[in-house]
Amino acid sequence: MSNILDKIFVDKQKELQGTKREHPLSELKQRIGNQAPVRNVFTALNANKHSNIIAEIKQRTPFKGELRENFNAQEIAGEYVKNGAVTLSILTESNYFGSNIGILEEVRPIAPIPLLRKDFISDDYQVYESRAYGADLFLLIATWLEQSQLTDLLLLGQELGMPALVETHNEWDMEKAFEAKAKLIGVNNRDLTNGKTDLDISRRLIPMALQEPDVTLVCESGIRGREEISEFEQLGAKAFLIGESLMTSENIPETLKGFLGNGDKQTSSQS
């Protein structure tokens, strides 16, 4: 295995074998029937006059370790919702991010806004699983998925009423997203093989993405303050997925307000 991204995906696929035995697909489909209707992320992203922040809940990362002491997903979700987040991103990967898919169920009663399941998805089962536990959309990482996988998983999500956020890191990923007819595309400024961020990735890829009609762009990682948000909004980004800056903040409400442009001060930490 050449990098941490490969290792995460391979370990996730091994773990999935046991998950399928413990919770068969028939069980997931029954759970889906009990879920409330999908909350429309496109509606959420067009309902606000301020900047659109997708606020992330994650306990740890393989690059930075533990991000927050006394981690409480429900409390964090409540602060995000009260202070202007339009969507929540929920990390559910267990081996490297210290989470689990049950976090979606914990957060759902607190959050009347869309929930993004952020995980390392490469199997149809995980798409059903996302919906069964209350997600409204899910992440697909174009870098790791073959074109046929990406297209098929995106289509399955559409059958279940869920869009996918197709995450890109370079021009080749963007071409994959176009071929799969993705309408919600993320540009991740973080290299998932080493954790480093480079905002020039968004400066390069956002104009490329907007050549396709009806594409909604999400800028991910490396956003430190309002100045960068304003820059990327002018380029055409519709929303900003921010995690570590919020998770490590001593005052989540003020940090989030700073990103939105209505706080007492701007944040300067790493997202």
Taking the C-alpha atoms of 236, 239, 244 and 249 in order, what is their torsion angle to the nearest 10 degrees? Answer: 110
> Active-site residue 58, yes or no?
yes
Taking the CA atoms of 22, 153, 217 and 143 in sequence, report the sign of the dihedral they define: positive
Catalytic residue status for 188? yes
The single residue of 12, 51, 52, 56 carrying the catalytic annotation is 56
Query: Tokens at residue 270, please?
Result: 């790493």
pLDDT at residue number 2: 64
| pLDDT at position 50 | 84
Give me the mean pLDDT over the 259-270 stretch: 54
Which residues does residue 52 pair with via DSSP β-bridges, in sequence order? 239
CA-to-CA dists, residue 246 to 29, 71, 96, 102, 123, angstroms = 34, 12, 19, 21, 30
Distances (CA, A) of 49 to 19, 44, 115, 142, 159: 42, 11, 20, 30, 31
Choose the catalytic residue: 58, 176, 183, 238.
58
Radius of gyration for the chain, computed over Cα atoms and rounded to the nearest angstrom:
17
Contacts (Cβ under 8 Å, ≥6 apart) of 183:
42, 163, 214, 215, 216
Residue partners of 131: CB distance under 8 A and separation at least 6: 28, 32, 35, 38, 160, 161, 162
Q: Which numeric CATH code is attached to 4-260?
A: 3.20.20.70
Say what the pLDDT of residue 194 is. Answer: 75
CA atoms of 96 and 98, how far apart (whole Å): 6
Q: Identify the active-site residue in 129, 167, 228, 244.
A: 167
Please, what is the Cα angle at 176 between 170 and 177, to 5 degrees? 90
Annotated catalytic, 118?
yes
Catalytic residue among 79, 93, 220, 244: 220
Who wins on pLDDT, 193 or 28? 28
Q: What is the pLDDT of residues 206-255, one digit of tens each?
A: 999 999 999 999 999 888 889 999 999 999 999 999 998 999 899 999 99
Would you say residue 38 has pLDDT above 70? yes
Helix pair 25-32, 124-132: axis angle to 10 deg: 40
Q: What average pLDDT does range 52-60 have in this prediction?
A: 94
The pLDDT score that the predictor gives to residue 118 is: 97
- CA dist 139 and 167 (Å) reads 7
Which two tokens mark 228? 């960068």
Cα–Cα distances in angstroms (integers) from residue 125 to residues 37, 121, 129, 232, in the given order: 20, 9, 6, 35
pTM: 0.93
Confirm if 182 and 175 have CB atoms less than 8 A apart. Answer: no
At residue 200, does pLDDT exceed 90? yes
Asked whether residue 256 carries a pLDDT value surpassing 90, the answer given is: yes
221 is catalytic: yes
Catalytic residue among 118, 176, 183, 238: 118
pLDDT higher than threshold 90 for residue 264:
no
Predicted pLDDT at 265: 38
Does residue 68 surpass a pLDDT of 50? yes
The pLDDT of residue 190: 87
- Average per-residue pLDDT for the chain: 92
Q: Given the residues 52, 188, 245, 271, select the one marked as catalytic.
A: 188
Domain boundaries, the chain: 4-260
> Is 228 annotated in the active site?
no
Band (pLDDT 50/70/90 cuts) for residue 4 is confident
> What confidence category does residue 77 fall into, taking pLDDT thresholds of 50, 70 and 90?
very high
Per-residue pLDDT at 262? 66
User: Is the CB of residue 150 less than 8 Å from the CB of residue 142?
Assistant: yes
Residue range 105-154, pLDDT digits in tens: 999 999 999 999 999 999 999 999 999 999 999 999 999 999 999 999 99
User: Which of 20-24, 60-64, 123-127, 210-214 has the least mean pLDDT?
Assistant: 60-64
- Give the model's pLDDT for residue 49: 76
Whether 180 contacts 150, CB under 8 Å: yes
